[in-house]
Structure formats: structure tokens, C-alpha cells
Structure 1
Amino acid sequence: MNDTTSPLKSDSLGPAWTYHALPSDVSSRPKGRTLRLLAASEAASPQVRDLLSRMIGNTLNQIEKTEWFTSQFLNGTPTLTVTFRQLMRETEPTKSKPLPQETALHSLNVCLNSIFSDSGWKLVRRRISQIERVQKTTRPVISKTQYDKLVLFKDTIGAKSVDAAIDELLSFYKDEHPAFSADREALGELVNHE
């Protein structure tokens, strides 16, 4: 297993992914946002850990979705799988250490970079983003009548989602009631401190 990534420097962002399909020359990398490996908070998340275990531990995935994995992993599956499981145990959060240590996280990221192909890791990052989005959402309970009115309003203004329609309604209300803006900022500070 090649040591292709640097140890974790920041909790908010994982280290950069080392691309398999491209030379190491930075100018030849794909345009756009750089793929990132796991940050400490992501490695500690039970949902992310479960996702990775399911994807790597499922033999059917390895047979049918070969484009998700590197040939090194597919040809030497037992070795990398055992290493992955051992590193998952080492990085498992506990009460005394809720986030994994940098060295264990670094080793896990190197292992993941050896297991997943570039397209496979893009899929993993997409699924991690979905997990994070779901965790950040709140589901208010409203009547079916009110929901139907929101959908009608969404269609009328050409919004892409009900959330966008609610944002439009709130921005209109904010313009009409300046005190709402101050209350909303106070609410935002309250939510951010929890």
C-alpha cells in the first residue's frame, strides 16, 4: 500500500484524494473541486462508517461494480479488506476519544485511496454529502392543505423545490417586516451555538 496522502491537517476538510487515472502532475488534474478523503468528523460518523463497510464488505459490489474499486483491491481483496476492518476498529469513536487520532485516520485514508477508484470515491463522496444533507434537515409537520398550497405557489413562481418556495415567502416577509430580519439573525446565532 503506497503512502499517497498527507496526515490530516484540519478537521473540517480531509486530505486531498490521490487520483489513480492521472499522472501526479497537478496541471493534468480534473477541473473543479478536488476530491477529499475523510475528515475526522466524517470518519467518526456512524452513517459514514456503515456506508463504507457495506460498500467494501459486499462481495456482490466487487463482482458487479468493478469500476468502483482499484485493480489492486480486486486482485488482493483479502489483504486490503482485513487492513480496512482493522483500521475501522482503530478509528472507532469512544467516549474518551470521539474523533480518531491523526495517525489512525491517515492510515484509514491511505487504505481507502488504495481500495476505491476515482469514480468509486466520487460516488462515496456524493453519498456522504447526502448523509450530511439529511442530518441538517428538519421536517416540519404541516397539513396536506397547506402543503398543496405551497406546491401551487412553487409552481406559480417557477421555483425548483418547496424549500425554494418557502425561502421566497420568507424573503418577502422579511422585506415587509424589518423586525423579522433581526429575529432571524438571533435565531441563526442560537442554532449555530448548539
Structure 2
Amino acid sequence: MTEKANAEKTASVTQCWVYHGRAPSSGRRLLLLDKSELIFALPLVYRLIHPVNTTSRIDWFNQDEKSKTDYSLLIEQLNLLVKQRKLNTNIDSILHKVNQLLNGYFSDLGWRILRKELSQIKKRQKKSHIELSKDIILKLKHYMEAELLDSFDQAIDTLLSEHASQRNG
């Protein structure tokens, strides 16, 4: 297999974090960024890699001079990734390079914290909270009991579906 084909194959699969210290013997391995996460991850990465953070949170960043990533090179490649993403071009190779640079920039602890924060951001994007008065919640609960529904989501979805079918039919 050619070097280019091998790099493309590797880039299309979510890359695993290469540990700086000893890899944990149990638990899930850390992953680098995936294409599907970029919309949430890029703002977080830009915020965390700022030089101010590298002095205030020293243990989050790689201190080994041999493998440490240069901030300006990382920013340059991140900007290129953002540009290619906006142009809807193939980003596999640039994402692979950015992931390698991020692996050299963050410590194991720092990347674990970034992944945890990214996970929270993704969770928040999936859920939405609305405020309802108690009397509406009671009405919804009675409706759920009558219709044998398990959740507010199901109740609201059923009501919306019924409303749409009444309007159309």
C-alpha cells in the first residue's frame, strides 16, 4: 500500500490519542478529533490552546521539548482546517495533521479534560429545556396516563402529530 493511501485510510478512521506517559490499563482509550465533532470542538480547541492557558494550566500541556508542538504551527493548521471545512473540500489529511499537532500540544491530562468538556458540549446540544407552568405539566401528565405514554417527549410529539393531521385532513 502506498504511503498516501495508507495516510488516507488512517485519516478516515478516528485516530487514537498517543499517550505521552503510561497508557491506562483500563477504561476507554482517548480519541483525537473526528470530522463529526469539529463544529463543537474547534471553538473549544481555539479557546484552550491560547498561550495564556499554557502558563496558568501547565499540567494540561506537553512539556517535553522533543515532542512539543509549536503554537503558531498549530494555529496555522487549525485555520487551514477551518478554511477547507468551509469550502466543503476533503479534510481528512489536514484533520490527521491537526490531530497529530494537538497530540503534541496537549498532555494526557489536558486532552482528557478537553474530551470531557467536548462531551458535555455535545450533550447540551442534544437537549433543550423549556419552562412550563405547573398546570400545563399536570395536564401533560394526565394526557400521558390516558394515552399510556412514557415521556413528555412522546406526549408532545403525539399532540403535535395529531394537530398536524387535523390541519391536513
Answer whether TM exceeds 0.5 for this pair. Answer: yes
Q: TM-score, normalised by structure 1?
A: 0.61
The answer to whether structure 1 residue 17 and structure 2 residue 8 are counterparts is no
CA 1:140–1:31 in structure 2 vs 1: closer, same or farther (change >3 Å)? same
Aligned with residue 10 of structure 2, among 7, 12, 24: 7
Aligned with residue 42 of structure 1, among 9, 14, 37: 37
Two-structure CA RMSD over aligned residues (Å): 3.6
Aligned with residue 88 of structure 2, among 86, 91, 97: 97
Q: Deviations over 1:102-139 (max 9, x none)?
A: 11000000000000000100000011011101111112
Q: TM-score, normalised by structure 2?
A: 0.69
Q: Deviations over 1:129-183 (max 9, x none)?
A: 111011111122212x469x89xxxxxxxxxxxxxxxxxx79xx47x745x47x9
Q: Quote the Cα distance in structure 2 between the aligned partners of 1:16 and 1:34.
A: 7
Q: Quote the Cα distance in structure 2 between the aligned partners of 1:141 and 1:8.
A: 43
Q: Quote the Cα distance in structure 2 between the aligned partners of 1:82 and 1:118.
A: 21
Please list every run of 5 or more consecutive structure 2 residues that lacks an aligned counterpart in the other structure: 1-8, 158-169
Match of 1:65 in 2: 57
4+ residue runs over 6 A deviation: none
Match of 2:3 in 1: none
AA at the equivalent of 1:104: I
Q: Quote the Cα distance in structure 2 between the aligned partners of 1:111 and 1:7.
A: 15
SS of equivalent to 1:19: coil
The answer to whether structure 1 residue 140 and structure 2 residue 143 are counterparts is no
Aligned with residue 24 of structure 2, among 24, 29, 48: 29
Q: Quote the Cα distance in structure 2 between the aligned partners of 1:60 and 1:146.
A: 50
Task: Give the fraction of aligned pairs with identical amino acids, expressed as a percent.
Answer: 26
Aligned residues: 144
Choose between structure 1 and 2 for higher RCO, CA contacts under 8 A separated by at least 6 residues.
2
SS of equivalent to 1:104: helix
Q: Quote the Cα distance in structure 2 between the aligned partners of 1:120 and 1:60.
A: 14
